[in-house]
Amino acid sequence: MKIAVVAEVHLGEPRVGATPDTVKRLVALGGTVVVESGAGLKAGILDAEYIAAGAAVVASAAEALSGAQVVLKVRRPEEAELSLYTPGTIVLAIMDPHGHEAALEAMAKAGISAFAMELMPRITRAQVMDVLSSQANLAGYRAIIDASYEFNRALPQMMTAAGTVPAGRVFVMGAGVAGLQAIATARRLGAIVTATDVRPASKDQVASLGAKFIAVEDEEFKQAESATGYAKPMSAEYQAKQAALVAEHIKKQDIVVTTALIPGRPAPRLLSAEMVASMRPGSVVVDLAVERGGNVEGSVAGEVVEIGGVKIIGHHNMPGRLAASASPLYAKNLYNFFETMVDKSAKTLAVKWDDELVKATLITRDGAVVHPSFAPKTV
């Protein structure tokens, strides 16, 4: 059972799909782990550490991938890499399938069995495999760290002989995994924190972290959570009411972090240019949804832009900005899923193609795009 770990070719992806800890576990499962030299460097992991954990380190991706039955990655293989993959290889990665049909077709053509970790069902059994949560948690933390870096004032209240510095005000929009960690981090830094979400369940979670919940709590709000625990798209009427409430609130905020996502759809627009303009110069907005179209008008992916003295942070890949923390969690998520594909007594691959986790995440197999949400429609 040859398992390959390769360096990410995607620009700016510093995370890695395995760590010395998961390599040890993979070897114990019966795997022969081959790591491309330097694959862990940007996440702070040396080749020597992989070797000490039981992996072989090779000079190139081609060598690592040659004959590999399993590949553990962060991003989906790019077209140029696919010729190095053996048909039938199991690839575990964040596949980013929405709107990328050509890339999915290319993976199908290469004959690989591609599993999209971000499609893992949010059920108890799969919590240990939930890359969205493990990575979003760090993104929420980093959003506050980045915002406080760009902010021109202190966050905690400070009472000094020379006078009092007031506490900063932080508003978090979207209180899912990232948002809750942003709230907790801002509270730890001493800020006065408020938060909003369209899911009623989030109200108590926000309060439990010591933040105040701000939302239009009408009948639609009470029904806004889908059976899978995600937010439903809200009506235009609700969005208008929410926007009016936010417009009033935002004028008094120093830092706003937006995290709102709807799976498979563009991110909802939460802050208009007018709202941003109503904030004091020196304030900071972090748009964590910037790569999904953005929650904030004017945010630019990969940039910090300044509009009317307000900085809007649109960094790419927030979890990647903490690659040495993100990689161990991500790698453990991959390992936990992969472990379910192995016959532990025979120490061989034994994918249960009928398992609900396999069915929910498998995108391509045997030359075709097989996932019901992404397979070409036959009319």
Binding residues for ligand NAD, rule: CB under 6 A, are 122, 127, 130, 132-133, 136, 173-179, 196-199, 202, 229-231, 234, 259-263, 268, 270
Q: Which one, 183 or 270, has the nearer CB to ligand NAD?
A: 270
Alpha-carbon separation of residue 269 from 43, 46, 236, 258 (angstroms): 33, 42, 11, 10
Task: Give the C-alpha separation, 69 to 59, whole Å.
Answer: 19
Which H helix or E strand runs over 256?
A: strand 255-258
Which H helix or E strand runs over 52?
A: helix 47-52
Q: Which one, 170 or 260, has the nearer CB to ligand NAD?
A: 260
Q: Which residues contact 297 (CB under 8 A, 6 or more apart)?
A: 269, 271, 272, 273, 276
Which H helix or E strand runs over 104?
A: helix 101-109
Q: Which one, 40 or 179, has the nearer CB to ligand NAD?
A: 179
Q: Which one, 194 or 259, has the nearer CB to ligand NAD?
A: 259
What is the nearest approach in angstroms of ligand NAD to the Cβ of residue 21? 22
Burial label for 290, CB within 10 Å (0-12, 13-18, 19+), is: buried
Nearest position to ligand NAD, beta carbon: 176
Alpha-carbon separation of residue 324 from 138, 143, 269, 288, 355 (angstroms): 11, 16, 32, 20, 32
What is the nearest approach in angstroms of ligand NAD to the Cβ of residue 178? 6
What is the nearest approach in angstroms of ligand NAD to the Cβ of residue 127? 4
Burial label for 315, CB within 10 Å (0-12, 13-18, 19+), is: buried
What is the nearest approach in angstroms of ligand NAD to the Cβ of residue 186? 16
Q: Which one, 84 or 198, has the nearer CB to ligand NAD?
A: 198
Whether the CB-CB separation of 43 and 14 falls below 8 Å is answered with: yes
What is the nearest approach in angstroms of ligand NAD to the Cβ of residue 290? 13
* 349: amino acid identity, one letter: L
What is the nearest approach in angstroms of ligand NAD to the Cβ of residue 289? 8
Q: Give the catalytic positions in this structure.
A: 122, 127, 130, 133, 230
Q: Which one, 202 or 253, has the nearer CB to ligand NAD?
A: 202
Closest CA to 170 of 253, 108, 88: 253
Instruction: Output phi, psi for 55, to 5 deg.
Output: -90, 160
